[in-house]
């Protein structure tokens, strides 16, 4: 395949420019460190823009870089209008944004407004007295009827936080509890209060005026809650499940439409909005992403990344079947249809590495990473590449709990061990699903700290950087990096990738993922064996040309049958004229 100059998203005047775009997520802490303090930073990102430009991505999404005490690595914001000193300054940010734009890419900020840090001035005011003007900016409630503040079970509801323990913390100053769906240092903002909403919209406009190109909105479907705050039904652990009362609440669509109106209406330029939405159904996703409703361009749904969670939740591992993955992704393709729009992802900073989770990070490492990427990128939707995924970075071999850094894993470990679970079993589940897997430093080369830092990294570098690194892959035509380049180029150059419809093929096959995309006179056929055994399937590709494959010696198909090696992926194209 000849590589041509990508048709960059910035050169179009299409309001839905993001259909032919690919987004690259940077977790700044772990991307590139310029000053040797062991933490990635903005000048570090600037120094690595060549890698992204050569890859061909259109948009960079930065995980939070705002001022923060880092209880949750920046997802706890203390100042929405400043850069945290560990990442740099506003001047560094402006320089990065200028460089990104200069290279024809866009930059999207993380918007974390379901909650702030408990060190945000709004919360400091809010907690200071029951009659402070900002008291109602957060969710404050007295102890449960019949209980004294601090009594066991006195929390206003029985909900369990995403990061273990109750969602309520008692504040001694006023003797009331505040709500935090995540860590105790992440109090939830009260979106019922119009002043809160206006403050958020003003902040968003401030960043857009500074030149950013949009927002990835953190757990945005949690901002509308059932104001009655009812107890949840007890789950496996006996703690109440508050999810039905705080997710996808009654005013969520109203808030999204208001945000669109207040922030984006009448604003020139090409923007991207993507809402992270745990538990969102496809029915709701259609509503959120129908352009006629003016809410969001796309959402991140969670169905496919929850398939390996057992009844006890994410730390209760459950085998993942390819057939379940096909059924789930296929349903989203079908149901979002031509009205809504999908975000396509297999990894991010909250998920284990995709090659370790869905593929084979041993014998078939290269083939499985490229097969998964092929299947994902050629779906209908906007693909997201998480840093290091384009190199096939793998889960980390954390040997002890002392090597972990993530608040979610550490809280879970502590609570589980206190509850009497075997520490090794708990650690083994964390090793499998924990978020630190995605947060080890990007492996740039084979030097002692993988070219990430000259200091001591805040979290250990994966020992496999000696052979798995960007320098080793950049000029190797058979590398995972080069395969991602080719996939991204297909989206830029072939309208059928960006705009075609989707039909699942071989729907009942247990391991082969196959589908067709049609647009005008072109049909694309994607087929991949997502397993470690060779397979032979009934698929007639005789009228097609082979466009791309992830093996060098792919065997020509015989009439009506296709033989695929382990983790082999092929892309065929035909044009009727
Ligand atoms: C979702 C983010 O992706 C995750 O990293 C964070 O911990 C929670 N939201 C809380 O902000």
Q: Is the pTM of this model over 0.75?
A: yes
* Ligand 1 atom with the shortest distance to the CA of 350: 5
| Max Cα distance, the chain (Å) | 78
Residue 28 · residue 45 · CB < 8 Å: yes
Please say whether the dihedral angle defined by the alpha carbons of residues 443, 446, 449 and 451, taken in this order, is positive or negative: negative
Taking the mean position of all CA atoms in its chain, how far away is CA 119?
26
pLDDT value, residue 3: 37
pLDDT value, residue 559: 67
pLDDT value, residue 4: 38
- 3-state DSSP of 175-242: CEEEECCCCCCCCEECCCCHHHHHHHHHHHHHHHHHCCCEEEECCHHHCCCCCCCCCCEECCCCCEEC
Tens digits of residue pLDDT in 21-41:
999 999 999 999 999 999 999
User: Which of the residues 58, 92, 160, 218 is marked catalytic?
Assistant: 218
Tens digits of residue pLDDT in 222-242:
999 999 999 999 876 678 999
Tens digits of residue pLDDT in 423-449:
999 999 999 999 999 999 999 999 999
Tens digits of residue pLDDT in 307-322:
999 988 999 999 999 9
Pairing of strands 569-575, 522-529: antiparallel
Assess whether pLDDT exceeds 90 at residue 561: no
Distance CA 351, CA 345 (A): 10
pLDDT value, residue 183: 97
For ligand 1, atom 10, the nearest C-alpha belongs to 75
* Ligand 1 atom with the shortest distance to the CA of 181: 10
CA of 352 to the centre of ligand 1 (A): 14
**Residue 125 falls in the annotated catalytic set:** no
For ligand 1, atom 8, the nearest C-alpha belongs to 75
Q: Which two tokens stand for residue 476?
A: 């190797």
pLDDT value, residue 236: 65
pLDDT value, residue 13: 65
Q: Kindly indicate the confidence band of residue 552, based on its pLDDT and cuts at 50, 70 and 90.
A: confident
pLDDT value, residue 391: 99
pLDDT value, residue 9: 41
Q: CB-based contacts of 295: which residues, under 8 Å, 6+ apart?
A: 253, 256, 257, 260, 287, 288, 289
Distance CA 233, CA 246 (A): 13
**Residue 276 falls in the annotated catalytic set:** yes
What are residue 25's DSSP bridge partners? 61, 386
Residue 191 · residue 438 · CB < 8 Å: no
Alpha helices in 337-383 (DSSP H): 354-357, 365-377
What rounded mean pLDDT belongs to the chain?
95
Q: CB-based contacts of 381: which residues, under 8 Å, 6+ apart?
A: 298, 333, 336, 341, 342, 343, 344
Measured between alpha carbons, how far is residue 305 from residues 264, 278, 327, 435 in Å? 31, 10, 13, 13
């Amino acid at each position: 395949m000849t590589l041509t100059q990508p048709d960059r998203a910035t050169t179009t005047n299409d309001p839905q420019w993001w259909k032919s775009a690919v987004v690259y997520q940077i977790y700044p802490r772990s991307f590139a460190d310029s000053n040797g303090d062991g933490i990635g930073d903005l000048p570090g990102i600037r120094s690595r823009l060549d890698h992204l430009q050569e890859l061909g991505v259109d948009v960079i999404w930065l995980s939070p870089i705002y001022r923060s005490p880092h209880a949750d690595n920046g997802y706890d914001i203390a100042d929405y209008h400043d850069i945290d000193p560990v990442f740099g300054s506003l001047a560094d940010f402006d320089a990065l944004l200028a460089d990104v734009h200069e290279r024809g890419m866009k930059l999207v900020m993380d918007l974390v407004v379901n909650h702030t840090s408990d060190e945000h001035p709004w919360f400091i005011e809010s907690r200071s007295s029951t009659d402070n003007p900002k008291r109602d900016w957060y969710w404050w409630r007295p102890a449960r009827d019949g209980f004294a503040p601090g009594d066991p079970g006195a929390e206003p509801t029985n909900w369990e936080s995403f990061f273990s323990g109750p969602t309520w913390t008692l504040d001694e100053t006023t003797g009331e509890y505040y709500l935090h769906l995540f860590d105790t240092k992440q109090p939830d903002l009260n979106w019922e209060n119009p002043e809160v909403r206006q403050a958020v919209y003003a902040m968003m406009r401030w960043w857009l005026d500074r030149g950013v190109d949009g927002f990835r909105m953190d757990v945005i479907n949690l901002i509308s809650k059932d104001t009655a705050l009812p107890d949840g039904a007890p789950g496996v652990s006996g703690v109440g499940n508050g999810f039905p009362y705080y997710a996808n609440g009654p005013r969520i669509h109203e808030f999204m439409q208001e945000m669109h109106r207040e922030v984006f209406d009448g604003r020139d330029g090409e923007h991207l909005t993507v809402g992270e939405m745990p538990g969102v159904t496809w029915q709701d996703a259609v509503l959120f992403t129908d352009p006629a409703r003016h809410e969001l361009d796309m959402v991140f749904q969670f169905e496919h990344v929850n398939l390996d969670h057992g009844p006890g939740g994410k730390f209760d591992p459950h085998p993942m079947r390819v057939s379940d993955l096909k059924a789930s992704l296929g349903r989203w393709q079908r149901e979002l249809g031509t009205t809504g729009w999908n975000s396509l992802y297999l990894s991010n900073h909250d998920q284990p590495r995709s090659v370790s989770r869905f593929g084979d990070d041993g014998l078939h490492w290269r083939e499985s990473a490229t097969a998964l990427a092929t299947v994902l990128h050629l779906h209908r939707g906007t693909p997201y590449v998480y840093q290091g995924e384009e190199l096939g970075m793998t889960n980390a071999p954390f040997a002890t709990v002392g090597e972990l850094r993530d608040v979610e894993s550490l809280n879970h470990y502590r609570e589980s061990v206190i509850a009497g679970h075997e520490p090794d079993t708990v650690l083994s589940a964390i090793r499998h699903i924990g978020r630190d897997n995605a947060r080890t430093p990007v492996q740039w080369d084979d030097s002692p700290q993988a070219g990430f830092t000259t200091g001591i990294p805040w979290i250990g570098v994966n020992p496999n950087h000696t052979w798995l690194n960007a320098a080793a892959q950049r000029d190797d035509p058979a590398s995972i990096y080069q395969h991602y380049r080719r996939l991204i180029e297909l989206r830029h150059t072939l309208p059928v990738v960006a705009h075609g419809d989707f039909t699942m093929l071989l729907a009942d096959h247990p391991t082969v993922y196959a589908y067709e995309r049609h647009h005008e006179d072109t049909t694309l056929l994607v087929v991949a064996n997502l397993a470690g055994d060779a397979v032979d399937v009934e698929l007639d590709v005789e009228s097609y040309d082979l466009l791309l494959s992830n093996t060098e010696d792919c065997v020509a198909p015989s009439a009506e049958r296709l033989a695929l090696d382990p983790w082999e992926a092929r892309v065929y194209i035909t044009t009727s004229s």
